[in-house]
Amino acid sequence: MRGLAAAAFGLVVLGLAVFLLGHRSGDQAPVREAVAAAPDAEANGVVHTSIKEVMQAIVDPSADVLWGAVGTIVDNENGIQELRPKTEEEWSNVRNAAIRILEGGNLLTLRGRDVAPTGTKSETPGVELEPAEIAALIDKDRDTFDGFGKALRALGAEAVKAVDAKNTEALMDIGTRMDNVCESCHGAFWYPYVSGYRSPGRSPAP
């Protein structure tokens, strides 16, 4: 039994040595095979998630982290409490959120995204436009929409620097400006006639 175990161990070691030797000598066959087996993105068309999904999965939860990281709470029982990250892990969490906001701004400016998944309807008809109407407005005023995305990206970059400096005052200011950017974008494209950004008599259709 010991002889069989030793022989089996020897084969494993030999196999590992051959594998490592092959990679060190430039044998990239496994990599080439994996690449060849992958779908051809260019041929099949690149699949993008919608603006709504990017907001729900990346931007909104990351903004909530930033907004909740610093601030002041007035509590009748505990008095005034100043919120701020206390541990390196908490600071790292805020920094990661800032990076997601930065990259979320990039993702929003990427052309070819639908406004929302197929079949999505306005949750507040008469207030928020339907996805097709929002898409028509974005197509007609793309520079403005991209401007909001770039502003979000810039605020994310500022937030990363503020976290690195552990500057809570800067983070509070960034959070306020980020809220303004988000609300302005929604007012311009999601409920522009209620917000007064656009004339109610002007159709969003191209």
Give residue 8's pLDDT. 45
> Please, what is the average pLDDT of the chain?
83
Residue 31 has pLDDT above 70, yes or no: no
Residue 41 has pLDDT above 50, yes or no: no
Residue 185 has pLDDT above 90, yes or no: yes
Give 72-114 pLDDT, tens digit per residue: 777 777 778 788 999 999 999 999 999 999 999 999 999 989 9
Looking at per-residue pLDDT, the higher value among 99 and 198 belongs to 99
Looking at per-residue pLDDT, the higher value among 149 and 20 belongs to 149
- 13 band by pLDDT with thresholds 50, 70 and 90: very low
Residue 3 has pLDDT above 60, yes or no: no
Give residue 26's pLDDT. 52
Give residue 201's pLDDT. 55
Give residue 100's pLDDT. 98
pTM for this prediction: 0.74
DSSP string of the chain? -HHHHHHHHHHHHHHHHHHHHHHHTT--HHHHHHHHHS--HHHH------HHHHIIIIIHHHHHHHHHHSEEEEETTTEEEEE---SHHHHHHHHHHHHHHHHHHHHHH-TT--SS-TT---SSTTTSPPHHHHHHHHHHTHHHHHHHHHHHHHHHHHHHHHHHTT-HHHHHHHHHHHHHHHHHHIIIIISHHHHTSS-TTS----
Give residue 199's pLDDT. 81
Domain positions in the chain: 2-38, 49-195
Domain over 49-195 is classified CATH 1.20.120.10: yes
Give 104-143 pLDDT, tens digit per residue: 999 999 998 999 999 999 999 999 999 999 999 999 999 9
Give residue 90's pLDDT. 97
